[in-house]
Structures are given as structure tokens and as C-alpha cells.
Structure 1
Amino acid sequence: MSSTSFDFVIVGGGTAGLVVASRLSENPAHRVLVLEAGIEHIDDSNVKTPAFYAGSFHSDSDWDFKSEPQPQLNGRTINLHQGRALGGSSTINAQVFVPPGKHAVDAWEESGNPGWNWQGLEAYYAKSHTFPGATKTTDGQSPLEQTSRGPIQVSLPGDPLHPIHEAWKGTFEAQGHYVSPDPWLREPTGAFSCLATVDGSTKERSYATNAYYRPVAHRNNLKVIEYVVVERIIFETDGPAIKATGVQYRDNDLSYGATGVKNDEIHTVTAVKEVILAAGALQSPKLLELSGVGNPRVLSSNGIQVVKELPGVGENLQDHIVCPIGVRAIDGIDTMDPLAREEVDAFLSATEEYKTHKTGILASSGMTTYAYIPITAELPRDASEDLEKLLHENKPGAGNVHGSLAEDLHGFFAKLLADRTKPTGVFLSVLGQAGPTPVPGTWLTLVAYLPHPLSLGSVHIRSKQASENPGINPKHLSHPVIDPKYLSHPVDIEILAHQMRFLGNFAASSPFSKLLEQPLQYLDPASNFTDLDKAKEYIQANAISMWHYAGTCAMLPEGKGGVVDAQLKVHGINNLRIVDSSVIPIITTGNLQSTVYAIAEKAADLIKADYGEV
């Protein structure tokens, strides 16, 4: 067994972990170690090329988790992707970079987290990314401008003159929804062309590895160890005081070497100042539980001694559930359909254009337009009243498994329904078909997802072993038991069903309908809904995860079931923080990428301040 010492030991070299490592190592006096289960994929074409992001799914750079069977989704097991690579999920995501609903961030403070509001976090969103100057919108209106100057490079993906931009914005505008040239400058309600973490110069993915880590990898005080699995956090106790002093980890090298013995040595590393958990919402709670921190019932059932009782560990899992419909587009619309069908000539042509000019369909993930809509404002008054009644009838009672967060979430959503100006539905478009088996033709996919689900799930350990077979590929680690409980709250499926009906009406509305074959042709005939019940049936058969996991180590007071405080310190344990999406108490409106970067930037400043640096 080998041992060494660093000031800060960061568990997880993902989106948040690399941000914190980069910022803390700015001080040469800080010795910073990052432990990562995956490896660097900076030269992988699936990582670099925006359109190829899905090629990383089910690969060595994906943890490839599975949910428990979901009763409200016809008993289906849902694929749950998470990056297992240096850079984490920023390595494999679809590069969407959209703002949160500012009202959702403000709700964090209202739940008991001083300083965690939009005003306090806005500067950190800006600090993380750079928008390359002003870019004219396709309608010649006000330019999109950002004053940010951060490491992540963002741009408008794909062809800014693609007809979907005008059709998308024009249709929402005709329906009375504000169309923003820059949703970052005001409360993002309405339609907009979304930014992507694609470098505007190279047209390649900009992510935590090449933006935050590579420029500082030469620092003598920063060390990254890849392809290891952290098995537990090491604690010292002195009476009631508990202190994190380091971690235990194991090599996961497949090679046997000259001796024929697997390289699976156990190591311990000491953290002089802090251990920082940044393993993500599905694995940070797992590591806490393996180390004796969590619900005593979960720990004892797995033969683990309780170090610190925190019942909120692994609870409050939130995720954006998403449901698509495909509609046939007119010929001549540029989409990814030829690539989905693996047409050789189309692939070679697109590859040559991208290689030579950095343009064409490969320069984008295909997700270019978004809309945050107050879907309840689209409903007749009696339908809205029915939703409010259903919400009231399902108000969580005291003592529920999710503590007072369920009550906070209920109150937050009740305000949204009553306001009728804040977004309760999110919509986006994809250039191409989204079906499992590629079919002929040109297609557009319209997508709806729940921005603020009321259904709360959980993630807990499966056994007391971090790995089922130490010394083997980490893909075979003992995955946690993940139960998102999608649509378990009855309001969720009602809202999503109304969103799906909205999509059907949207497709039939001008000017978007001008992009589509008439009469409308659906990729799946079942998506041509005739009523809400049919929409619900379609959702239950087709909805999947958007892979936006949050809440499992929620930032809340301990008495409310929280795991970390407003300094991101684990309640009752010294020298241990969590910095990843697990600390988000109420999930934000849009994709979480921009929010995770912002949280990590703020966390770095919080840590520096504790050591007199800010």
C-alpha cells in the first residue's frame, strides 16, 4: 500500500472537478490532486466533432448506467449516460449551453442557502465562458453579445442561416411568446437560438479538458491520476468531531505486466486541507455511503458502519424527462438523416466539408433552437385550475422521505402555475430523425421536456464494495441503484402531456409548417395525438432521460434534509466539500452544463476565501 499527501484531493476529474483544480492550482503553494476513473479523450473524433457526440454513448467514455424499471414508463429501464473520462460529461454531452431560469436559481436561496441566487451566481456563469464577439441574428435584429471572458468557448452552432431559425422564432412570436436575441440578458422566457460549447474558430468541442485543464497541465503543483477508482473517504473522529483526512483508491489497469499479476494496488492519499467530491449526482452519494455517511438504514443493510447520519444522501434525485416527436420535412432541408442512415457518399462529403472549411452538418449537434414557455398560459382556464387542484391534492406531508425539499419544490411550482409568465415547459428542435431505426426521408424532431419535475427519485449503493472485481476495467464497477421515479408525481405527466399537445399544434402552425410536408407525416403515427390520454400513452412508451441529474447531495440546512451547507461543506464533517450537480436543490430550467460550470467557479472562490485568498 502506497501513501502520499496533497493540500486538496479532488475526487472526479469531470466538468466541475477540473474547474476547481484549475482555479485552486493558480496558487503555486497549493498542491492539488485529481483522481479520475476514466482517461483523456482529447483526440477522439467522437469528442472533438460536434455531430459525433452520440458515438461516445455506451463506449469506454460513458459510465453507461441503467435506471431501475420505471412503473410510469411501462416498466422500461432507461439508459443514463454520464461521462467516464477526463472532463466528465462535458466530454460526451450534446454541447448545449443555455441559461437557467433565474427564478429557479433564486429558489435555491429561498430554500435556505444565503448567497445562492441569480444575482450572486450571474458573474460565475459569465466567468466560465467566452462568446466570440457580436453575432448578427438571422433577422438582422439586435446582436447577440456577451461580456464574458472565460475558458469555455461558445458559439451559435451550425449554419446561422438554416431556415429552422426563422421558422422556429417566427412561429413562437406569432403565438405571442417573446423571442429573445440573447436569453442571457433577461429572464429567458420565449424562443431563442441556443449557444453551444463549440469553439467558433475550430468548430470543435470546447470542454473542461481542453479549456480548463490542458492550458494549466504543466503546473508542478497540479497532478491528475487517471483510470483509478476511489473506494472510500478516510475519516478521523475525535469525540463528536469528524474530519476527512484523505481517500483510498485502487488502480484499474487491465494489463498484467511481466509478473502476470494484475496492477490493482490500493493507495491512500492524505488531504491536508480538504477532500472535494466532484463525482457527479449519481456517484458522489455513492462514495459518501461507502464511507459511512448517509441514511443509517441504507448503511446498515450493506454492512457499513455509520460515521455520520445524513438521511438526505442519495435522495431528491431530479432529472429532466424528455419526449420527442418526428415530423417529415420538405426536401432540401439540411439534416443529419443521411448520417443516421450511414450513407457513405453523404458521410464522405460532410467529412470533407468539415475538414476543409469547418462548416456543414458536422459542425453542430443538430440542436440549435430552444424555447422556455409558460405552458399553463396556453391552456384554458379550467385546465389550469385542474392542474392547480391536482397539485394541491398531492401536497407532500411532513415526514416524507425527501424531507422539506419536497415541500419547497411544491411551493416553488405552485408559484409557477399561479404566475403564468414563468416557464413550465421547455421545447427544442433537432435537425434529423430520432427514431431507433433510421428510415428514408428528411425529418425534423420536436422535443419537449419538464423543466421542474415534481417527481423525486433516489440513488443508493448496491453493496459495500466500490468494485465487484477489484483490478478490472471500471466499466464493471458495482453501479449504484438508480431510481428516478419518473412521472411518479401525477402533475408531471399532466404538464408533459399538455406540452406534447402543444408540439402537435406548433408543427401545424405557420411559418414552421412551411418546413414540413403537408399533410403532416409523423415518424411514429402514435405521436399524432387526438387527446391528452393518447399523449400520456405516447409519453409512457417513449419518454427518456435528458441526462440532467441533480439534487442527490442537496445544498440545504441539515434540518431540512440537506447534505451540504451554503459553503458546500458536508454537514457535520470537517474538510469535506461537494462540488457538482448533486448539490443543486431545485433543478434549473435548461440543460445543466452552464450551471455546473458556474457552481464550480463559485466553489473555487468559496474555498479560496476560507484560506484567505479572496
Structure 2
Amino acid sequence: MASSVYDFIIVGGGTAGLVVATRLSEIPTQRVLVLEAGSDHSDDLRVKIPAFYASLHESELGWSFKTAPQPSLNRRTVTLNQGKALGGSAAINNSVFTPPTKTVIDDWEALGNKGWNWDTLKSYYAKTYSSPSIPDGLDKELGVDRWLSKSGKTSGPIQLSYPGDYLHPIRRAWAESFEGKGYLMANDPWFDATVGAFSNLHSVDPVQRERSYATNAYYLPVKDRHNLKVIANAVVEGIIFDNGAKKPRATGVRFRHESHESIASASKEIILAAGAVQSPKLLEVSGIGNARILKSLGIEVVKEAEGVGENLQDHIVCDFAVEALEEMDTLDGLARQEPDVLESSMNEFMVSHTGQLTSSGIKTFAYMPVVNHFSAGGQNAVKKLLEDNRPQSRPWGSTARDLAYFDIAEKMLLNRAQPSGAYLTAIGQNPVAPDPVSGNKPKPLDGKFLTIVAILAQPLSRGNTHIESQDVSNPPAIDPKYLSNPIDVEVFGEHVLYLQDIIRSAPLSNLLKQPLKYFHSAANFSDLEGARKYIRSRATTMWHLAGTCSMLPEEMGGVVDTELRVYGVENLRVVDSSVVPLLPPGNLQSTVYALAERAADIIKAAHHLL
């Protein structure tokens, strides 16, 4: 069995793993190895072209995990697309790049993670991306002309741009409709995100109009460094420990590559960056986790850690589509895979890097509270909802964790300046979410559509993922327990119902056929019970899995400390979305990049490499 020695071994060449590898290998004396289970698809047009992202789902570029049947979703099984490629999920996502709110990041510290707050992390967010310039005279068309303050110019590796055609009417109509309701984002959200509507950015190069992600932005420019080695199609089968010391010490990994078994040893650290499903899986097959689960599978316990695989959180999403005016530009022809549309769009992209293929169609966002909670009787209703579902007070273990999260949720739901939901639009019908009657993938319809979407920003529902076998090739059991918390059911129902009000608000309504024509008649609901029923049949995942190796105090079920070190184990860290203790309100990728940038500095400091 072949063996080699490095200073750092990074398990997972995804979004976080490549950032950490790039930063650690900046120091020529440090030997860095990255082991990635997938392949390098940076030349794949499906990856490069933003509009083709949906074709990557359930492809060879993703793990295509399946959840347990979800009782709150009519017992549907949900597919979880997690990236299996160099660059990870950033290689297959829809490229939306949104900021967190200051409050959410400060809440990380409130959960017991000293030093993890907005003042510390904001510079790491800024370090990851290059902000786009706004063409002269287009501030109003982009819906950004009312900002009181703007973030400074940044010059990080990830290239950002405004999606698609700058002059598309959806942005201005969205901004003005929310402004009429008193919910237009006051500042550039990258400067100070609170509540309100804004035009979102996406991680697409503004010149080439191709996906900008960890592989081509971080890794490829430095791939020839003599001290950096990346092995693709390498499946890590377990972590090796030296149990002779006071604490178990991670010394290397076993992996399989091209049918050969190998061992790689690390003189300094093993860094898990395999994602919210694979990182807890690797810990468990290596003997770190709930002793009851490990012993039942015949795995020797290296470190008892009941929090491994627990605290799984994800953004659940629900949408509906309505017919748009014929003159509005949409991506429906691509959704129907019309040959003439595909050919002309492909020709335009290859010749001039313009046209429909340059974006996934998501141009607008909003962070929102439940508006109804601030009506005359709304505050009393939400207070009663909270009181009826308050966790029992036991200051230890998962109960202490539940209480801490509940306190954060309570403050959020009672504050109109904090979002419990996020809304977005997509110019075209949704090819992913299930038909609300059959439960199957819907067939594309003729016509043009605008899709409006609600996301439950900070769910209280928590699930888990655990191995069912010693064999690392077997997928784990995943149960997100979507909407298992009654508070989530009510809050999400209110948000989805409010979408009906949004699409009837001018000037957004002026872009739609009147009277409204829904993609599916089941979406034409008008009360909270109708919204709940629709959610059960239509809602799905945003694939924003997090929290399964949470950065929390160990007594609250935390797996890693504030240095991202696994409790009770030496030379082992986790750096990916699994350590995120609380989801941001929008898409997760910007937070993973910022987390990885800070982790690299933490690791350098620990080894006196700064």
C-alpha cells in the first residue's frame, strides 16, 4: 500500500477545500494534499454556462442523496444535490451570490462561538469576491438607485456580476413594488443587509459570462505550485488515528484512487471539507460520533461525540409561476428545450458571451419578516405561537441547543427589521420542483412565466444524517425533518401566502397577464390553510445543508470549537458548511467562502505561518 507524507491533508476539493488549499499553499514550505472524490469539470460547458445548471442535478457531478420520506411534505422523498466535482456544490449551483445579515452572523457568537461575529467576518466575505461596477445611468434599472450607503470596492477571486440583461424590467418593477410596501433595502446589502428588496448578484464573470467558482477562481491560477497536489477521483475511506497519546491524534487518511488503496500521512493536520453530509459520515466511519450508532455497526469508538450528524438544517423553498406578458424576456424556451432556442442561444453565447445562457434567471431577492405578524393582532398571534412551542428548560445537551436557537428565533420573529423569509423571482417556469398533484417532475408548458419563490430563512426544524454501514461507499440515512417544528409551519405558510400579495402589486403586476394565470391551478390559494396545503405538495429543498458538525459549545452538542478543531481530537478540523451553526437568510455559498478564508488564517496562526 503506497504511502506519502504532507503537512496538511484536505479531504474534499469543494468550495471550502480549494480555498483552504490555495491559502495554505501560499507558503512554499508547506506541502498540501487535496483528495476529491469527483472529477475536474472546469472545461464542461454545463458547468461554465450559467443557464445549464439544472442539467447538472442528478448527474455525475452530484451525489444525488435521497432523504427519508418527509411527513410534512406528503411523505415525499427529496433529492439533495451536493457537488461531486472539483469545486463542490459551487460547480453545480445556480450561481446566486447573496450576503448574510449582520444579525445572523452576530448570532453565531451568541450561540457560544466567541469571535465569530460580523465585525470579524465581514472582511472575509469581502476578501472572497470582486464586486461589479454598475454601468453609467443604469442604477435605476438595476433597482439600486435608492441605496443610502454602498459597500466598498473589493477584488477577491470570485467574479460577480448582475445576472443577464441589465435592462430587464423585472428588477425595477420588483424594487418599486416593495418600495410601495415600505420594504426596499435601504443600503447595499453587502454593506448592511437588513430587510427589503434588492437586485442580487451571481458568481458569473462579468466579461466571459461564465461561472466563477472555487476551481477556476482559486485553484486553477495556482495549480502548478510545487507544494500543492490535488488528486481527483480519490475516495477517502477513513481517518487514521494514533491512540497512544492522551487524546486521539489524527495522523493520516486511507483513500482509494484508480482501484489502488493508499495512505497519506499529515505531519500537521487533517482538514475535513467534504460537506454537510460527507464530513459527518467520514467522522462516523472513523470512530467519531454517537457511540450507540458506532457500536451497533461494529465500529470502534475513537471519540464519543453525539453531535456528529445532528443539528441538520436546510432552506426549504416553495414557489409558483404565473403567465408573463409575451414581450417579457424569459427562459421558458430553454426549459422546453426548443431546438431553435437552444441553437440560437448557444451560438450567441459562443460568439459574444451574451444572451439567455448568461444567467440562471434569478435577478431579484428580498429579505422579509412575516408582514402579517406586525398587523393589529399579529403580535399577539406570534407571541402565542412562540409560547405554545417553547422548548422545555434543561440547560444541557440538545435541549440547551434547542433553547438557544429558540431564543434567537423569538427575537427574530418579534422584530420587523429581521428577516424570517427570503423571496426571489426567476424569469421562467421552474423545471425542478414537483407537480403539486402528481408529485412528479412537471412537464414544461407553452407560454412565458414568472416564478416567485419563498424561502424559510431560519428554520427551527432540525434533522440528522448518520451512516448505516461501515462501508464508506454506502450513502448515509438523511432525514432533514422539514417543517417538523410547528413554528416553521406557520411562519412558512405566512410567507408563501404573502407571495400572492406581491404578484398583485404594481408595477410588478404590470409584467403579468391579467387576470392571473397560474402554471398550476393548485397555486391559486387565498388563505393560510391553502398555502399550507400547497406547501405540503410543492415545497422542496434549496440544497443549503448545514450544521451537522456544528461549531457550538461541546455541552450543547457541538462538534468543533471556535478554531474549527474537533473536540477531544488532535490535528483534526472541519471546514465546510457542516460547521455553520445558523443558516444565513439567502444562498449559502458566500458564507462558505468567507468561512474557509477565515479558517485558513486560523490554521496558519496555529502553526505560526502568518
Q: Same fold (TM over 0.5)?
A: yes
How far apart in 1 are the matches of 2:132 and 2:417? 31
Partner residue in 1 for 2:37:
37
Say whether 1:611 aligns with 2:586: no
- Asked whether the 8 Å contact 2:373–2:381 carries over to 1, the reply is no
Say whether 1:271 aligns with 2:271: no
Partner residue in 2 for 1:591:
587
How far apart in 1 are the matches of 2:447 and 2:189? 33
Partner residue in 2 for 1:430:
426
Partner residue in 1 for 2:140:
138
Q: Deviations over 1:406-465 (max 9, x none)?
A: 211100010012222211111000010115210000000000010000000001002111
2:56 partner amino acid: S
Question: For 1:362, what is the secondary structure of its paired residue?
Answer: helix
**Equivalent residue for 1:528, pick from 483, 506, 524:** 524
- Asked whether the 8 Å contact 2:374–2:416 carries over to 1, the reply is no
How far apart in 1 are the matches of 2:294 and 2:407? 32
Partner residue in 1 for 2:108:
108
How far apart in 2 are the matches of 1:179 and 1:489? 29
Say whether 1:446 aligns with 2:452: yes
2:177 partner amino acid: T
Q: Deviations over 1:210-232 (max 9, x none)?
A: 00000000001000011021111
Partner residue in 2 for 1:497:
493
How far apart in 2 are the matches of 1:126 and 1:377? 35
2:401 partner amino acid: L
**Equivalent residue for 1:394, pick from 386, 389, 408:** 389
Partner residue in 1 for 2:553:
557
Say whether 1:600 aligns with 2:602: no
Say whether 1:537 aligns with 2:539: no
> Judging changes above 3 Å, is the alpha-carbon distance between structure 1 residues 146 and 60 closer, same or farther for their aligned structure 2 residues?
farther
Partner residue in 2 for 1:258:
none
Q: Which moved more, 1:316-325 or 1:380-389?
A: 380-389
Say whether 1:380 aligns with 2:375: yes
Q: Which runs of 5+ in 1 are unaligned?
A: 254-263, 468-477
- Asked whether the 8 Å contact 1:377–1:421 carries over to 2, the reply is no
How far apart in 2 are the matches of 1:440 and 1:32? 52
How far apart in 2 are the matches of 1:137 and 1:85? 37
Q: Offset of 1:613 from its aligned partner?
A: 2.5
Q: Offset of 1:405 from its aligned partner?
A: 2.2
- Asked whether the 8 Å contact 1:403–1:561 carries over to 2, the reply is no
Say whether 1:241 aligns with 2:247: yes
Say whether 1:18 aligns with 2:18: yes
- Asked whether the 8 Å contact 2:185–2:194 carries over to 1, the reply is no
How far apart in 1 are the matches of 2:120 and 2:397? 31
Question: For 2:22, what is the secondary structure of its paired residue?
Answer: helix
**Equivalent residue for 2:571, pick from 575, 579, 588:** 575
Q: Offset of 1:524 from its aligned partner?
A: 1.2
Partner residue in 2 for 1:261:
none
- Asked whether the 8 Å contact 1:277–1:579 carries over to 2, the reply is yes
1:405 partner amino acid: R
Partner residue in 2 for 1:292:
287
**Equivalent residue for 1:174, pick from 153, 174, 180:** 180
1:83 partner amino acid: G
Partner residue in 2 for 1:90:
90
**Equivalent residue for 2:365, pick from 349, 370, 378:** 370
Q: Deviations over 1:189-219 (max 9, x none)?
A: 2101100000001000000000000000000
Q: Offset of 1:235 from its aligned partner?
A: 0.7
For these two proteins, the number of residue pairs brought into alignment is 593
How far apart in 2 are the matches of 1:319 and 1:414? 19
Q: Deviations over 1:338-381 (max 9, x none)?
A: 11111111111212222222221111110110000112466534
Q: Which moved more, 1:133-142 or 1:345-354?
A: 133-142
> Judging changes above 3 Å, is the alpha-carbon distance between structure 1 residues 421 and 539 closer, same or farther for their aligned structure 2 residues?
same
How far apart in 2 are the matches of 1:142 and 1:168? 13
Alignment of 1:293-308 (within 5 A): 293-308=288-303
**Equivalent residue for 1:198, pick from 197, 201, 204:** 204
How far apart in 2 are the matches of 1:81 and 1:385? 39
Partner residue in 2 for 1:227:
233
Q: Deviations over 1:306-357 (max 9, x none)?
A: 1101110000000000001111101111111011111111111212222222
1:603 partner amino acid: A
> Judging changes above 3 Å, is the alpha-carbon distance between structure 1 residues 242 and 320 closer, same or farther for their aligned structure 2 residues?
same
Q: Offset of 1:611 from its aligned partner?
A: 1.4
- Asked whether the 8 Å contact 2:391–2:399 carries over to 1, the reply is no
Partner residue in 1 for 2:461:
455
2:89 partner amino acid: S
Q: Offset of 1:157 from its aligned partner?
A: 0.9
How far apart in 2 are the matches of 1:349 and 1:405? 54
How far apart in 1 are the matches of 2:246 and 2:389? 39
- Asked whether the 8 Å contact 2:17–2:34 carries over to 1, the reply is yes
Question: For 1:22, what is the secondary structure of its paired residue?
Answer: helix
2:461 partner amino acid: S
**Equivalent residue for 1:149, pick from 155, 174, 179:** 155
Q: Which moved more, 1:433-442 or 1:42-51?
A: 433-442
Q: Which moved more, 1:132-141 or 1:201-210?
A: 132-141
Query: How large is the Cα RMSD of the aligned pairs?
Result: 1.5
How far apart in 1 are the matches of 2:37 and 2:224? 21
Partner residue in 1 for 2:61:
61
How far apart in 2 are the matches of 1:403 and 1:274? 32
Q: TM (normalized to structure 2)?
A: 0.95
Q: Which runs of 5+ in 2 are unaligned?
A: 432-441
2:145 partner amino acid: Q
- Asked whether the 8 Å contact 2:99–2:193 carries over to 1, the reply is no
Partner residue in 2 for 1:473:
none
Partner residue in 2 for 1:484:
480
- Asked whether the 8 Å contact 1:130–1:146 carries over to 2, the reply is no
Q: Which moved more, 1:334-343 or 1:392-401?
A: 392-401
Question: For 2:320, what is the secondary structure of its paired residue?
Answer: strand
Q: Offset of 1:240 from its aligned partner?
A: 3.5
Q: Offset of 1:88 from its aligned partner?
A: 0.3
Question: For 2:377, what is the secondary structure of its paired residue?
Answer: helix
Question: For 1:606, what is the secondary structure of its paired residue?
Answer: helix
2:471 partner amino acid: Q
How far apart in 1 are the matches of 2:23 and 2:112? 27
Q: Which moved more, 1:511-520 or 1:427-436?
A: 427-436
How far apart in 2 are the matches of 1:375 and 1:161? 31
Question: For 1:369, what is the secondary structure of its paired residue?
Answer: strand
- Percent of pairs with identical residues: 51
Say whether 1:318 aligns with 2:318: no
- Asked whether the 8 Å contact 1:6–1:271 carries over to 2, the reply is yes
Q: Offset of 1:290 from its aligned partner?
A: 0.4
Partner residue in 1 for 2:435:
none
Q: Offset of 1:386 from its aligned partner?
A: 2.2
Q: Offset of 1:401 from its aligned partner?
A: 7.1
Q: TM (normalized to structure 1)?
A: 0.94
How far apart in 2 are the matches of 1:226 and 1:334? 40
2:517 partner amino acid: Q
1:270 partner amino acid: S
- Asked whether the 8 Å contact 2:33–2:229 carries over to 1, the reply is yes
How far apart in 1 are the matches of 2:279 and 2:247? 22
How far apart in 2 are the matches of 1:379 and 1:178? 17
- Asked whether the 8 Å contact 1:376–1:384 carries over to 2, the reply is no
How far apart in 2 are the matches of 1:296 and 1:13? 29
Q: Offset of 1:521 from its aligned partner?
A: 0.6
Question: For 2:495, what is the secondary structure of its paired residue?
Answer: helix
2:158 partner amino acid: I
How far apart in 2 are the matches of 1:124 and 1:484? 29
